[in-house]
């Protein structure tokens, strides 16, 4: 019976709590990092599609031609 592991050592709540804390902290830091990256990507996409950086396309409006005649 000396080699038998007691139930208290296997089910020790402090041990399980300390083991469960690490994945929770890593997950929270990854979520925060992903949020920051998404905000950065959104800002970058706004810069790409901003109107001042796009070329101006001059289209002939048929209504203007009718009014000028």
Q: What is the pLDDT of residue 1?
A: 46
Which residues in the chain show pLDDT less than 70? 1-9, 51-54, 62-69
CA distance 18 to 16: 5
Cβ contacts of residue 47 below 8 Å, gap of 6+?
53
* Whole-prediction pTM: 0.51
Give me the residue label for tokens 């920051």: 36
Q: How far is CA 49 from CA 19, 42, 55, in A?
A: 46, 11, 11
Contact (CB, 8 A) for 53 and 47: yes
CA distance 14 to 8: 11
């Amino acid at each position: 019976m000396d080699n038998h592991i007691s139930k208290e050592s296997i089910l020790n709540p402090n041990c399980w709590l300390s083991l469960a804390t690490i994945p929770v902290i890593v997950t929270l830091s990854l979520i925060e990092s992903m949020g920051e990256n998404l905000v950065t990507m959104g800002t970058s996409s706004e810069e790409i599609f901003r109107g001042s950086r796009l070329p101006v396309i001059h289209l002939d409006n048929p209504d203007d031609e009718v009014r000028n005649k």
